[in-house]
């Protein structure tokens, strides 16, 4: 595809300058409109020549209002980036709605280089490209306009370009030994690019192959493409807002069993003496195991979901008596902030992931999309249903990186929940724990039970299974969570730590 492309298109100086000024004005006007729109623009530039990409990106910085543009180039990973899943640094660089991000190098770059230099097997390359495809699909589902450009030139023209840059006082720094090495493997780079384009060219995030041998032609071709795609998006009327719907109910499925029906929380008890002894033993084991995990560079992600008043906060506090607070961080998830609403919904969870060797405990989590957002009709049905595979993909990346991921659902029955609500209402220092929303959620319990059932069915995977914890008895629930975490750490660490 790329090697057989007919190159050599040119634009003369007079034509270039005649078109340049109106094109720049149009781009600035569209950019101003974008700043008031509800989506971001993501521009990705890849190609055979790094210097050509750099020139083009600098041209765009001259054309656009840079106050609303983020220019991003990923180089070698920092220690902070190496200590987290591969896509962590890409998620952090995503623009908020109304802004533009220009990626001079992107989630494609390193993999293309590795494949070109025969440092990456085909299967691993394809795995990464399919993951990129799913990532970009999620971005477009969340509203982003993603435009991808492959800047192409022949090997001979690239060599001539290198010589031209070497003669320029301001051009020598634009090339590197890696650029020249890749030029020697031009055919393999093109083959890798063709494969990447085939695997990631989707209607929502298409590739545009641009001839880059002539600067003027390259600049105008890219500018026109951005102008046309952005104008089409801005001029497309937003979809009609769905008619307000009542919160979800579960009356149609009232007679169907759920996973919670087989979890009797009232039949699990622990006496006080046994609780104290087991809690003391497990606390000591947790301290030793989490420090060992720290020294071995294993991060731990703990997710806590459950009914209101199920004891999530109390369980987390008991865990932190065994997990040194220097290693741990608790993230309490509430309604998203304006900044979080400006980004894809998983963005705020990616940014809090722990470094290798550390522990993050999420008090509620990304599962809000398929629980509260579903039941309360805060997210369209199509989007929360699409969230199941997106969440599985997210957790797969954590596990693939080497993190231990554990997800706990603390289950109490309706009678026990009512008792705890009333106890909070009658205890002055616990009034803050009980809200009108808690009572409203209780009225919708059947709908939440159905949502929990489907959540477990769709997202309890071999890599990150759900742990369903009977929690009518707080002592039992706390010790059970601690024991399961200790067992998982033992299994993961093995060796002398497994006793």
pLDDT at 472 over 90: yes
Cβ neighbors of 106 (< 8 A, separation 6 or more) are 44, 45, 46, 72, 74, 90
pLDDT for position 187: 94
What are the pLDDT digits (tens) for 444-471? Answer: 999 999 999 999 999 999 999 999 999 9
pLDDT for position 367: 98
pLDDT for position 6: 58
What are the pLDDT digits (tens) for 154-206? Answer: 999 888 888 888 887 776 677 788 888 999 999 999 999 999 999 999 999 99
Residue 362's pLDDT band (boundaries 50, 70, 90)?
very high
| Average pLDDT value for residue range 210-221 | 95
pLDDT at 116 over 90: yes
What are the pLDDT digits (tens) for 29-56? Answer: 999 999 999 999 999 999 998 888 999 9
Tell me if the pTM is above 0.85.
yes
Residue 252's pLDDT band (boundaries 50, 70, 90)?
very low
pLDDT for position 498: 40
């Amino acid at each position: 595809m790329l090697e057989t492309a007919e190159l050599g298109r040119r634009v003369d100086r007079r034509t270039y300058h005649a078109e340049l000024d109106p094109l720049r004005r149009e781009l600035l006007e569209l950019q101003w409109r974008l700043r008031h729109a509800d989506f971001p623009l993501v521009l990705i530039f890849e190609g055979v020549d790094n210097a050509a990409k750099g020139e083009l990106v600098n041209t765009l910085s001259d054309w656009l209002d840079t106050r609303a543009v983020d220019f991003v180039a990923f180089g070698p990973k920092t220690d902070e980036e190496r200590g987290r899943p591969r896509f962590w640094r890409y998620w952090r660089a995503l623009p908020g709605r109304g802004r533009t991000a220009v990626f001079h190098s992107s989630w494609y770059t390193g993999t293309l280089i590795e494949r070109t230099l025969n440092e990456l097997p085909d299967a691993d390359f394809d795995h990464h490209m399919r993951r990129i495809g799913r990532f970009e699909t999620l971005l477009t589902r969340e509203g982003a306009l993603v435009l991808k450009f492959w800047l192409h030139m022949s090997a001979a023209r690239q060599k001539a370009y290198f010589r031209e840059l070497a003669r320029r006082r301001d051009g020598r720094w634009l090339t590197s030994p890696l650029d020249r090495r890749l030029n020697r493997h031009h055919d393999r780079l093109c083959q890798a690019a063709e494969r990447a384009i085939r695997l990631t060219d989707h209607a929502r995030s298409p590739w545009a192959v641009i001839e880059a041998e002539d600067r003027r032609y390259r600049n105008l071709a890219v500018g026109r493409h951005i102008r046309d795609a952005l104008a089409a998006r801005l001029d497309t009327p937003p979809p009609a807002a769905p008619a307000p719907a009542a919160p979800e109910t579960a009356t149609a499925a009232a007679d169907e069993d759920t996973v919670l029906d087989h979890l009797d929380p009232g039949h699990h008890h622990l006496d006080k003496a046994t609780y104290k002894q087991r809690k003391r033993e497990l606390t000591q084991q947790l301290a030793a195991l989490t420090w060992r995990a720290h020294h071995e560079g294993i991060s731990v992600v703990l997710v806590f979901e459950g009914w209101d008043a199920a004891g999530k906060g109390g369980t987390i506090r008991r865990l932190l008596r065994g997990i040194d607070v220097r290693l741990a961080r608790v993230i309490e998830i509430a309604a998203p902030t304006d900044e979080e609403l400006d980004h894809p919904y998983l963005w705020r969870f990616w940014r809090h992931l722990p470094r290798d060797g550390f522990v993050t405990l999420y008090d509620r989590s990304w599962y809000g999309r398929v629980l509260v957002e579903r039941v309360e009709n805060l997210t369209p049905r199509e989007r929360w249903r699409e969230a199941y595979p997106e969440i599985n993909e997210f957790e797969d990346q954590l596990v693939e990186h080497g993190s231990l991921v554990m997800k706990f659902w603390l289950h109490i029955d309706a009678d026990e929940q009512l008792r705890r609500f009333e106890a909070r209402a009658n205890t002055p220092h616990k009034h803050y724990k009980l809200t009108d929303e808690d009572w409203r959620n209780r009225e919708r319990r059947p709908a939440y039970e159905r949502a929990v059932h489907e959540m477990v069915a769709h997202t309890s995977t071999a890599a990150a299974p759900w742990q369903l914890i009977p929690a009518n008895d707080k002592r039992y629930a706390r010790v059970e969570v601690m024991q399961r975490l200790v067992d998982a750490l033992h299994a993961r660490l093995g060796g002398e730590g497994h006793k």
